[in-house]
Every structure is written in structure tokens, then in C-alpha cells.
Amino acid sequence: MDTVYTTALKILNTIRTAGFAALFAGGSVRDMLLGRPAKDYDIATDALPEQIEALFPRTVAVGKAFGVIIVVENGIEIEVTTFRADGGYQDGRRPGSIKFSGAEEDAQRRDFTINGMFYDPAENEVIDFTGGRADLKNKLVRAIGEPDRRFAEDHLRMLRAVRFAFTLGFDIETETRATIIRHAPALAKISPERIENEFSRTLTESPNPGDALRELVELGLIKFIIPEILPLIGQEQPPEFHPEGDVFEHTVLMLNMMPEHPARELAYAVLLHDVGKPATAFKTDRWRFHNHEHVSAGMAEEILRRLRLPAKEIRHIVIAIDRHMRFKDVQNMNRSTLRKLIGAETFELELELHRLDCASSHRMLGNYEFLRRERDNFKAEPVLPPRWITGADLIARGIPPGPAMGALLKKAYDAQLEGTFANKAELLEWLKK
């Protein structure tokens, strides 16, 4: 049995044994009804935060003012929330006040009907005050109560609606969708960190993240996440290389072709690999985009810093974008250059970006297959072996540190990678000359 569920059930029963009501709430109930594994189990109760703290030896008061306590059992954290009704929201994120309430009032404060249900494990009963079961059956994401009020309370719910729709394969209910379009500019008030979390989850958890991107454009939300995406729409490309259409359509196709649950680095590399094309576009005999990979890399770095991604991920994504056009020349590269390409820290990310780029356009995968074979050929030995010649070797032979030494070290390592010399001694003799 699921260890997290077992732990959550134990906590729920402890609360009940103490004389309080306790129910599973929200996403775990939705996932149970859909036959999906739940990621976490939240408990809703009429016990007050202080009473929950008194019942368990290890608790964390993460949101005690809002009735939220984390109970820690066996290293597993379970969120326990007191039934509450929310007062007005001043900051588009948190209620200005709350009052503790019953289960029905608690359901009415939640975001979408499919997330507003409770489950009583003792009675094996779903408690549904909002029509969530019907919307699950009809595959609809519907705001609870008045959509205007729900999105005014927490603007991030607009992105959550898109995430739930595209991770579950649902549609956004008509009135809910129209309300998102009206409220879209309010997303600008949300912190970049919160936006990034929802947007990244949409890209990495949706079966068809390209379709989710299209929906974000149609809802008017992408303008307040990555407005640099909008110029991709209608930016023509040469049909002999891009029969799929404009740069936006190419990006949508690439996103949809990503493997299930892709790494965040891959998702953003795909999303932004051609973001510099509109800025570099010019037409002669056909559409051309001179140095678009370098422009795209610079724009991507700025965008990802704005979204507050970790520095290491930004570096990897930017490198992959900056280098993505060099793959067209791999079969003509000398051995040293090829080995450096394959031995690079970002090679697997670059290779997958290249595969998706080709598969979503001209479908010529010859260079991809060539690189896979070359990578496999190097499995028996280090792609980038230790250097035979070091700075210390050259200093011992009277060559001072500086640009000249750097140039010699590069020549020596390239020759070593090319297999021009059999050993260090032969390479040193060549360097003397």
C-alpha cells in the first residue's frame, strides 16, 4: 500500500479518535475518482490549529493564521487544514481574513469544482458540495461559484485552470474560460516564482504542452509570462525546411513531441530555441535568420532569469540553444571537434533538442543517428580523456604561461583527440618542432 496514503490515513484517524471530523480533501479525491495515483493527501478538519499541534509530536505551523498545519510522521509531511471561509482578498493571493467553518463553507472557498470534493475513508463516501463529480465525468475545469470572484481572489488560478485542463485532458468550462480572458492582465501582479512554478508544471506534466501553449496565447495569458513568444506567431519560414508552418507552429509541434514528463531544461530549450528568429528575419531568395541561435540564446537567458530559474539550469538551456545550429555540420567535423561536442556536459540535452527540431520540421534525422552511433562508439573509452600535455609540461620546457601556452595546449589536446600520435612522448616531440 502507498506509504504516504497509509501515513495520511493514520493521521486522519488520530484526529477522528480525538473527537474531531476529518476528511481527505482536494486533489487526492479528484485523482482517486479518476483512477490516478495521488501526489499528496491533504486533510480537512474542524479541529483548530492548536488542537492539531497538541495531537501530534512533530508539526510545522506553515500557515497557522490560515488554519494550515503540517504534521510530520515517519519523515512524511501531511497538510492538515481547518475548515474555513475566506474574507476578502487584498493582494490577489491570500485572504485578508478567515473564519473557521464547516465542510460546505470550506468547499465553496476552493478554486475548481473538481478540487472541491472531500472523501470519508471510514464510510467510503465522496462528499461533493460543488458538482465536482459531474464535471469530472464531463471532463470540465469549472470555477466554484462566481468565476470573477475566484480569479479576483487569486490571479494564479488562471494558470492553474490551464494546467489542470491540459494535464487531465479536460476543457475549461465556457464561463470560466471567458472570465480568464477578462482577468488575464491581473497575472502581471503575480510574482515570477509563482508563475514559473505553474507554467513549468504545465510544460512538463501535460501530454501535449504545445496545445497548452496555444491555449495560453488564446486566453491572453502568455503576454504576462513570456511575451517574447507572441512574435513567433505568423513569422514565416522557408517551406522546404519547415513545411509545418510558422515559427510558433514549429514550437508547438516540438513541445508536443517531447517525451512524457520531460526535464524542465528540455522544455524551456524547446520553447525558446527559436525565440530570436523574428528579430533576425530577412527575406532574399527565401526567409533567412542570420545568427538566430545566438540571439535566441541571449533572449532565453534574459527570460529565464526573469522567471527565476536556477542558474545552472539557465546555463545549460542557454548553451543548448546557442549551439543548436551546429548539428547540421556534425558529419564534416574533425575528430577533435566531434569528441568535444559529444563530451560536453550538455550533449544529451543538445542531442534531444536537435532530434525534436528535425522531427517537427523536415524530418531528416541523419545527423541525429550519426551522433548516436558516434556516442555509442565512445562508450568503451572516455570521450574526453585526460590531457597528455599540461601547463606544467610546457613550463618545464621553458614556455611561460600566457596566450602562447594556451594555444599550444589547445593544439596538443586536439592532436591527441584526433589520434594523430600514439602517446605523450610522440606528442611532446611534435610540440618541440
- pLDDT at residue 88 is higher than 70: no
pLDDT confidence of residue 428: 77
- pLDDT at residue 216 is higher than 60: yes
How many alpha carbons lie under 13 Å from residue 247 in its C-beta half-sphere? 26
- pLDDT at residue 89 is higher than 90: no
User: What is the rounded CA–CA span in Å between residue 22 and residue 404?
Assistant: 74
User: What is the rounded CA–CA span in Å between residue 162 and residue 209?
Assistant: 10
Span 58-78, mean pLDDT? 92
**What pLDDT digit, counting tens, does each position of 315-325 carry?**
999 999 999 99
Span 28-50, mean pLDDT? 94
* CA-to-CA dists, residue 296 to 149, 225, 290, angstroms: 39, 17, 11
Span 228-257, mean pLDDT? 95
How many alpha carbons lie under 13 Å from residue 405 in its C-beta half-sphere? 14
Radius of gyration over alpha carbons of the chain, in Å? 28
Calculate the dihedral angle through the C-alpha atoms of 80, 85, 89, 93, rounding to the nearest 10 degrees: 20
- pLDDT at residue 193 is higher than 70: yes
Span 262-282, mean pLDDT? 97
Q: Which residue has the higher pLDDT, 232 or 384?
A: 232
- pLDDT at residue 392 is higher than 70: yes
Q: Average pLDDT, whole number, for the chain?
A: 91
pTM: 0.85
- pLDDT at residue 426 is higher than 80: no
CB 141 within 8 A of CB 164: yes
User: What is the rounded CA–CA span in Å between residue 269 and residue 271?
Assistant: 6
Span 32-59, mean pLDDT? 94
Cell of 305: 532569469
- pLDDT at residue 343 is higher than 80: yes
pLDDT confidence of residue 411: 82
CB 287 within 8 A of CB 274: no
80 DSSP β-pair partners: 43, 69
- pLDDT at residue 87 is higher than 80: no
- pLDDT at residue 336 is higher than 70: yes
Domains of the chain, earliest start first: 1-131 (3.30.460.10), 139-225 (1.10.110.30), 227-384 (1.10.3210), 391-432 (no CATH)
- pLDDT at residue 91 is higher than 60: no
Backbone φ/ψ region at 139: left (φ over 0), alpha (ψ -120 to 50), beta: left
